[in-house]
Amino acid sequence: MSIEIEKKNAMREKLLVKLLPVIRKEGVSSLRIERIAKIMDISKATMYKYFSSKEEIIESIVDLYVSYITDIGETIVDHNASYSEHFQKSFEQSLLIAFYISNEYLNDLQTSYPTLYEKISDAHDKRNEQISHISDQYQNEGIFNPINIYLLHMQDQFLLRKLFDPALLTKMNMTLYEALLDYYSLTKHQLIHPEYLNEIDDNKIHELLKKLVQKFSTTM
């Protein structure tokens, strides 16, 4: 790949990232080219140097998400990591996926661009299979509780994303930090056998949640 192509691809990704906070709140179908260029902070003419159409932008964002889900799925498969590292890494990744890929975005994509929605869904399925394979090993060793791991995947898909809804947090009289910390504790006790719970150091998760809550507050 030439240096010019690498520079162009890097700039394309930089422009796409600027759209993510808006897309997670509003979806993609209602965005007009003029507003997309404004969010990217470039002229329409400059935008068309990097993207030929709105459809290409939407597809490129999907590819960005798919690449992220696929890449982080690969990092879970680390045979040198401990069960607690696997668990916390998986939780961290589920948290970031739920944060960046919102229900609003997914519902809009499923309705307006079903083929692109399937690409994200397939990437999720592949990651879930990787997590399930590792979880099966820990269940056989008696470290993880003998539960169907796919129920936890569904819990992440539907419940975890809902915790980023300010209206729901107000109804529950909870801060986002409190809700996510409780969700972490819930998941930990569901998955890990009581004998091994005390071996897990939660300090890393506390710091992660603080950073994520701070980032979430800047996008509201």
Q: How far apart are CA 142 and CA 136, in angstroms?
A: 10
pLDDT attached to residue 145? 96
Q: What is the pLDDT along the chain (220 residues), one digit of tens a residue?
A: 678 888 899 999 999 999 999 999 899 999 999 999 999 999 999 999 999 999 999 999 999 999 988 876 666 666 677 889 889 988 998 998 998 899 899 999 999 999 999 999 999 999 899 889 889 999 999 999 999 999 999 999 889 999 999 999 999 999 999 999 999 999 999 999 999 999 999 998 999 999 989 888 876 5
Q: Which residues contact 195 (CB under 8 A, 6 or more apart)?
A: 142
- Tracing tokens 């007009």 back to the chain, one arrives at 32
Structure tokens belonging to residue 28: 């993609």
pLDDT attached to residue 173? 96
Contact (Cβ atoms closer than 8 angstroms) between residue 69 and residue 124: yes
Burial 174-209 (b: 16+ CB within 10 A, else e): eebeebbbebbeebbeebbbeebeeebeeeebeebb
Domains of the chain from N-terminus onward: 61-219 (1.10.357)
Question: At CA 124, angle to CA 80 and CA 132, rounded to 5?
Answer: 45
This prediction's pTM: 0.85
pLDDT attached to residue 220? 58
Q: CA torsion, points 185, 182, 92, 29, in degrees to nearest 10? A: 140
pLDDT attached to residue 80? 72
